[in-house]
């Protein structure tokens, strides 16, 4: 139960300054120092803090030492964990002062700070209005709605995890099989934890960047973290149609094929700005809107935009109004006639709230985009649409990259990797120290040969990692060869996955882990299912029997006996039954703690790559559990079972995995390639005993 409760600090204020992920990371660092010297002194801290990405770009070791000594303490003075945390906060406060406090969080990558957790009440009211509007008729939540934005009702309801899961399904329908959500009237701690684990893994699977959030943080409903996650989910919903696949009419915004390629690579908010300026230019507005804050504060751009899109509801009144607040009020009244819900106030417009203004413009786009439905250019946009399998793989790898906590957020995989930089960031995450950053060029890159240099280094590192790259050159990446890019990323994902599994086995054996193969994973899964008394067995990850979903249901049940509600499972004999099983499998796996990015279609069509990743993710979760039988379920190269791990090795495995998880979180702060702090990975919740449901 201690793992569920997290790291406890006696000073409640001090604990409130950190998320559980941050506390676990810092605790890991603190213990690593103590393990080396038997105690921790103030003098031990400078080299540790200097390696953290949070400080490495701002202070060197000597500067950190000088700042720590300003408190008047002796360099040899022994300190406890709470003093260590206060030293960290002191250094972070100094960093913020030096940078002028200019760090801002974006709507999509909602970075959390640990010094000041201010809540924007207007944004909170907007999100509450959104939830009240979209979930009012939900069978489970309607008894709690409408929420009062002036109270903490939002956070109280969010504590069980149901609200956040339902909101994800509103943003991207079908992401979560709601049969997997625990919706009893009163949930026990494990059931709440399961819901939040399902929420966090599903949030990653729709493109949210989860920064320093663990399940315990959501159980406690920390306001700044809950609002940060909700803002990302709502933004994804509002911007869902801002791409050529959903709205091919957007091709009207560009002049030729080259511009279309550029449009494909733009993030949704940039496409929204491009759309807004397209109509403003036609309406005679002479300024260029470059943001959703200062450029729209006077309301003039909105008045012109609505006059161009809905002249029947607007008119000269807003254009002629001199007072910005009164103009903003008229703009909102006109927008309401287009059925745009009033989620922001005139004050929010005048004060330039970027999140709420972006949401407002996105709503206008949804209700009246003003683009031609019969543009001659639409045929070209349709030609650029990928086949279904390629699109699914692009989505999977894009979301996987974003889940790693790299500094660059990937919006369009094939466009964003062409300069090589993103792939170098991923390689540095997967194989720390493999990238020579002195030879890398950071975007924006004007000279084409610099992109080729980046991509060539990507290929060189791939070869060092024994990837299959025969006749593949950096220029293939720069040219956007989709087949080769997908092949490279698959090898990269597979390498990462096998490396994690090998590390677990290495810790359990207290010696260097042997290479783990696809066959090892398959044998492990078959043995698990057989040991649980089930009959399903598969010959390979291409086995067509996998399409029914029965094998994965039995595998999930074997690693956690009561995780699958068998009354919800089918035999998978019809296409409809296969889809029911597939959607349920994905949600149950995420509920356990598996971070996966496949779609139901990947199971139904037996996509070999995705079958391997799903099985490996379940295996990785299973081996992390105390007594996870790391050795008894792996095989030797000839396929025969290895010797069973004894109780001592199982205990060592549990301890090692705990340290591995914390070390990995800590390592996210030490990557040298970027000026931005890298977000930590999602902290997957540990699952306890299931109640019969």
Q: Is residue 476's pLDDT more than 90?
A: yes
Label residue 564 by pLDDT band (50, 70, 90).
very high
Residue 512 belongs to a domain? no
Taking the CA atoms of 79, 85, 88 and 90 in sequence, report the sign of the dihedral they define. Answer: negative
Lowest mean pLDDT among 156-160, 383-387, 545-549, 596-600: 383-387
Give a yes or no: residue 668 inside a domain.
Answer: no
Cis peptide before 319 (omega within 30 of 0): no
- Phi and psi, residue 683, nearest 5°: -85, 105
Among the candidates 353, 382, 411, a domain finishes at 382
The residue-averaged pLDDT of 27-36 equals: 76
pLDDT score of 210 more than 90: no
Percent of the chain scored above 70 by pLDDT? 80
Residues 204, 291, single domain; the answer is no
Range of the domain at 356: 248-382
Which of 382, 402, 436 is a domain's end point?
382
Dist. CA 194–CA 594, nearest whole Å: 11
Q: Is 41 in a helix, a strand, or coil?
A: strand
Helical spans, DSSP H, in 57-188: 61-69, 81-98, 121-134, 153-158, 162-171
* 329/400 same-domain check: no
DSSP line for 557-587: HHHSTTSS-GGG-----SHHHHHHHHHHHHH
* For residues 72-93, average pLDDT: 78
CA distance 532 to 548: 19
User: Per-residue pLDDT for 486 more than 80?
Assistant: yes
Pairwise CA distance, residues 475 & 182, whole Å = 50
Q: State whether 153 and 221 are in the same domain.
A: yes
pLDDT tens-digit profile of 632-683? 444 433 333 333 333 333 333 333 333 333 333 333 333 333 333 333 333 3
Task: Give the pLDDT mean for 375-403.
Answer: 76
The answer to whether residue 2 is domain-embedded is no
More confident residue, 375 or 156: 156
Q: Tell whether 378 and 390 lie within a shared domain.
A: no
Average model confidence (pLDDT) across the chain: 82
- pLDDT at position 634 is 46
**558 vs 540: CA distance, rounded Å:** 19
Dist. CA 228–CA 308, nearest whole Å: 34
- Is 633 part of a structural domain of the chain? no
Query: Are both 233 and 134 inside the same structural domain?
Result: yes
| 127 and 194 share one domain | yes
Most confident of the ranges 45-54, 414-423, 670-679: 414-423
394 & 491 share domain: yes
CATH number at residue 92: 1.10.238
The domain spanning residue 579 has which CATH number?
A: 1.10.418.10
Q: Is residue 540 part of a domain?
A: yes
For residue 285, the tally of other CB atoms under 10 A from its CB is 20
Phi-psi region of 543 (alpha: psi -120 to 50; beta: other; left: phi over 0): beta
Residue 54 in this model has a pLDDT that exceeds 50: yes
Q: Residues 523, 500: one domain? A: no
Query: What is the reported pLDDT for 13?
Result: 67
User: Considering 595, 624, 653, which residue would you say is the last residue of a domain?
Assistant: 624
Shared-domain flag, residues 502 and 425: yes
Q: Do 369 and 268 have their domain in common?
A: yes
In a domain, 650, yes or no: no
> Model-level pTM?
0.78
428 and 498 part of one domain = yes
Write out pLDDT tens, residues 253-268: 988 766 787 888 889 9
Total number of domains in the chain:
5
Question: Does some domain include residue 211?
Answer: yes
Whether 171 and 237 have beta carbons less than 8 Å apart is answered as yes
Any domain includes 654: no
Residues 342 and 410 in one domain: no
Whole-number Å distance between alpha carbons of 103 and 97? 11
């Amino acid at each position: 139960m201690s793992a569920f409760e997290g790291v406890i600090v006696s000073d409640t204020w001090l604990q409130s300054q950190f998320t559980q992920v941050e506390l676990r990371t810092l605790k890991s660092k603190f213990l690593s120092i103590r393990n080396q010297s038997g105690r921790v002194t103030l003098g031990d801290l400078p080299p540790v803090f200097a390696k953290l990405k949070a400080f490495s770009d701002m202070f060197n070791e000597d500067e950190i030492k000088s700042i720590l000594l300003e408190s008047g303490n002796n360099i040899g003075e022994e300190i406890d964990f709470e003093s260590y945390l206060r030293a960290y906060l002191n250094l972070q406060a100094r960093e913020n002062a030096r940078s002028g406090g200019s760090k801002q969080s974006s709507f999509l990558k909602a970075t959390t700070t640990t010094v000041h957790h201010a809540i924007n009440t207007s944004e909170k009211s907007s999100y509450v209005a959104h939830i009240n509007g979209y979930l009012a008729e939900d069978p489970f939540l309607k008894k709690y709605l409408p929420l009062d934005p002036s109270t903490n009702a939002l956070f109280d309801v969010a504590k069980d995890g149901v609200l956040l899961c339902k909101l994800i399904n509103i943003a991207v329908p079908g992401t979560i099989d709601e049969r997997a959500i625990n919706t009893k009237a009163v949930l026990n701690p494990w059931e709440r934890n399961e819901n939040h684990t399902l929420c966090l893994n599903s949030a990653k699977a729709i493109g949210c960047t989860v920064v320093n959030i663990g399940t315990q943080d959501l159980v406690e409903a920390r306001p700044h973290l809950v609002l940060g996650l909700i803002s990302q989910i709502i933004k994804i919903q509002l911007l869902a149609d801002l791409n050529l696949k959903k709205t091919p009419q957007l091709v009207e915004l560009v002049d030729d094929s080259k511009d279309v390629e550029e449009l494909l690579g733009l993030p949704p908010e940039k496409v929204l700005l491009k759309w807004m300026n397209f109509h403003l230019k036609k309406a005679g507005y002479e300024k260029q809107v470059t943001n959703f804050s200062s450029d729209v504060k006077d309301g003039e751009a909105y008045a012109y935009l609505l006059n161009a899109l809905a002249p029947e509801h607007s008119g000269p009144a807003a254009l002629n109004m001199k007072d910005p607040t009164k103009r903003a009020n008229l703009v909102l009244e006109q927008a309401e006639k287009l059925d745009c819900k009033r989620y922001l106030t005139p004050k929010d417009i005048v004060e330039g709230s970027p999140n709420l203004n972006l949401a407002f413009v996105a709503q206008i786009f949804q209700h009246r985009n003003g683009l031609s439905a019969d543009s001659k250019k639409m045929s070209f946009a349709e030609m650029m649409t990928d086949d279904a399998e390629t699109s699914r793989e692009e989505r999977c790898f894009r979301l996987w990259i974003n889940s790693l906590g790299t500094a660059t957020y990937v919006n369009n995989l094939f466009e964003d990797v062409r300069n090589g930089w993103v792939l170098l960031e991923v390689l540095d995450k997967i194989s720390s120290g493999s990238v020579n950053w002195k030879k890398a060029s950071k975007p924006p890159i004007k000279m084409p040969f610099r992109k080729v240099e980046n991509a060539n280094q990507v290929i060189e590192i791939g070869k060092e990692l024994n990837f299959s790259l025969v006749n593949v050159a950096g220029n293939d990446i720069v040219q956007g060869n989709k087949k080769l890019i997908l092949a490279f990323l698959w090898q990269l994902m597979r390498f990462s996955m096998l490396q994690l599994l090998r590390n677990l086995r290495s810790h359990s054996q207290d010696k260097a882990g042997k290479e783990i193969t696809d066959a090892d994973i398959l044998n492990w899964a078959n043995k698990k299912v057989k040991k649980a008394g089930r009959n399903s067995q598969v010959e390979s990850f291409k086995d067509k029997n996998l399409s029914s979903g029965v094998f994965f249901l039995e595998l999930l049940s074997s690693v956690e006996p009561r995780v699958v509600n068998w009354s919800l499972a089918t035999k998978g004999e019809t296409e409809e039954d296969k889809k029911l099983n597939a959607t349920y499998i994905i949600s149950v796996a995420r509920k356990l703690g598996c971070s996966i990015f496949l779609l139901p279609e990947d199971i139904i069509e037996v996509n070999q790559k995705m079958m391997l990743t799903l099985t490996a993710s379940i295996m990785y979760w299973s081996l992390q559990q105390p007594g996870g039988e790391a050795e008894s379920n792996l095989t030797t190269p000839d396929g025969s079972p290895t010797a069973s791990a004894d109780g001592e090795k199982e205990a060592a495995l549990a301890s090692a995995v705990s340290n591995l998880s914390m070390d990995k979180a800590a390592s996210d702060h030490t990557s040298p390639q970027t000026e931005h702090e890298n977000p930590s990975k999602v902290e997957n919740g540990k699952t306890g005993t299931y109640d019969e449901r």
